[in-house]
Structure 1
Amino acid sequence: MSSVLIVDDHPVIRAAVKMVLEQERFTVILEASTGVEAVQMIREHSPDLVILDLDIPNLDGLDVLSRIKASGASNRVLVFTAKAAQFYVSRCMREGALGYIAKTNDLQELRKAVQAIMNNYSYFPRLPESSVSMNDVQRSELQMIESLSDRELSIFQCLARGSSNKDIAEAMLLSHKTVSTYKTRLIEKLNVKSLVHLRDFAKRNQLI
């Protein structure tokens, strides 16, 4: 008997993924819409496979991955997300994910990834090599992004999308003061002058 947990805050996405999993003969299919709910269900049900979106409320996907790894649980995790692979694949691998699929792919690709992981293989996209035509500014900005912690990167994207400190604090279960500290640190680390420049930086690097 194989069990799986789908973690995504969009019901339509969960329904589409569930159809694929039913065809793959999973007998127990669980669903969660937030990071907190996912962590609780993983602890209670220990599903064989977790299909995890990164952009979820109340602990994002990277937080969930980190908690699974810290707990020593044996769940296999496949990340299924709209976030840019070049900035997230290595982070997910470090936190123990066995696969990474972009939501822009068709569901057949998801099926292939599920089959690979359930047969003890990993399934990650091949990322393009660094372009020799990349200019010094692009290279420098990529290095800055890579230097951010997982939490810094998540908050950076929230700020760039226009979320307030209060909204971010509530979504990530942090204090307002902690978010404010991250905001100041990000402006310093990314060498920008304001939130407007922070948003431009994110757009330029396809993070929003």
Structure 2
Amino acid sequence: MKDKQDITLLIADDHPMLLKGLYEELVAKNYRVIGQAMDGMQALEGILTQRPTLALLDIDMPLLTGFEVIKTAREKGVETKFIVLSFHKRLAYVTQAKALHIHGYLLKEDSFFEIERCIQAVLEGHTYFSASFGTLALENAGRDLKKLRLLTPSELTILKLVAKQESTNTIADKLGVSVRTVEKHRSNIIGKLALEGGTNTLTNWALTNKETILEL
């Protein structure tokens, strides 16, 4: 692992006490924290101007979420490695993190020992998810992502519109195709995602996984 003084970090969290605690722990362990932010826009500006080695970002922040910060920073060519911090254990968040190829995902309940293990793993080129998730949750998230990647561009476009709660008729009008064509695509999507249930199965699944779908 690199010398800690060669590693620069930017941290972001909209909870002042959590941000202060994380900063103090990192500094006490001899890490160089070169930036702090309390909303997503501040975090993005800091990442773009200071280009830290690592950024530890809260997911739920004002103005831009941690996921939005990461996506935008990468579009700008930033090589910073990203670790997200969250209270969320929901599978949809894990799947979204995997879709964005985020390097680390930690829970705010994790000890600083685990945070440091994650930092070390990420710097060595590995992906690190909190041990609290368990193997099964990570495997399920990976399976959902693989299923989504089986969809054709047309099917993915329709799924995104379904996730936005657009009706079949509205989707047909927007895409300039027949209602029957949209229904056929919906049927194919249900098959590829291996969904079971009634009429609203696809809509319910799309709403549950909306964040991930819209990132693809």
TM bin, normalised by shorter chain, reads 0.5 to 0.7
Identify if the C-alpha distance between structure 1 residues 61 and 67 changes in structure 2 by more than 3 Å, giving closer, same or farther: same
After TM superposition, the runs of 4+ consecutive aligned structure 1 residues lying more than 3 A away are: 125-128, 182-188
Structure 2 equivalent of residue 15 of structure 1: 20
Q: Are 1:118 and 2:132 counterparts?
A: no
How far apart are the structure 1 equivalents of 2:127 and 2:25? 18
1:51 is aligned with what amino acid? L
How far apart are the structure 1 equivalents of 2:59 and 2:7? 23
Structure 1 equivalent of residue 53 of structure 2: 48
Structure 1 equivalent of residue 98 of structure 2: 93
Q: Which runs of 5+ in 2 are unaligned?
A: 1-5, 138-143, 149-162, 168-199, 209-216
Structure 2 equivalent of residue 190 of structure 1: 204
How far apart are the structure 2 equivalents of 1:24 and 1:90? 31
How far apart are the structure 1 equivalents of 2:14 and 2:68? 15
TM norm structure 2? 0.58
1:65 is aligned with what amino acid? I
Q: Report sequence identity in percent.
A: 25
Secondary structure of the 2:129 match is coil
Where does 1:27-176 land on structure 2 (aligned, <5 Å)?
Answer: 27-125=32-130, 127-129=134-136
Q: Which runs of 5+ in 1 are unaligned?
A: 131-142, 148-181, 192-197, 202-208
Q: Deviations over 1:65-124 (max 9, x none)?
A: 211222221101111111125221231132231111111222221121122222332211
2:85 is aligned with what amino acid? F
How far apart are the structure 1 equivalents of 2:80 and 2:97? 14
Secondary structure of the 1:4 match is strand
How far apart are the structure 2 equivalents of 1:52 and 1:85? 17
How far apart are the structure 1 equivalents of 2:33 and 2:56? 13
8 Å CA contact retained: 2:23, 2:33: no
1:97 is aligned with what amino acid? I
How far apart are the structure 1 equivalents of 2:49 and 2:75? 16
How far apart are the structure 1 equivalents of 2:126 and 2:29? 16
Task: Give 1:62 deviation, angstroms.
Answer: 1.3
Aligned-CA RMSD value? 3.3
Count of aligned residue pairs for this structure pair: 150
Secondary structure of the 1:17 match is helix
TM norm structure 1? 0.60
8 Å CA contact retained: 2:11, 2:33: no
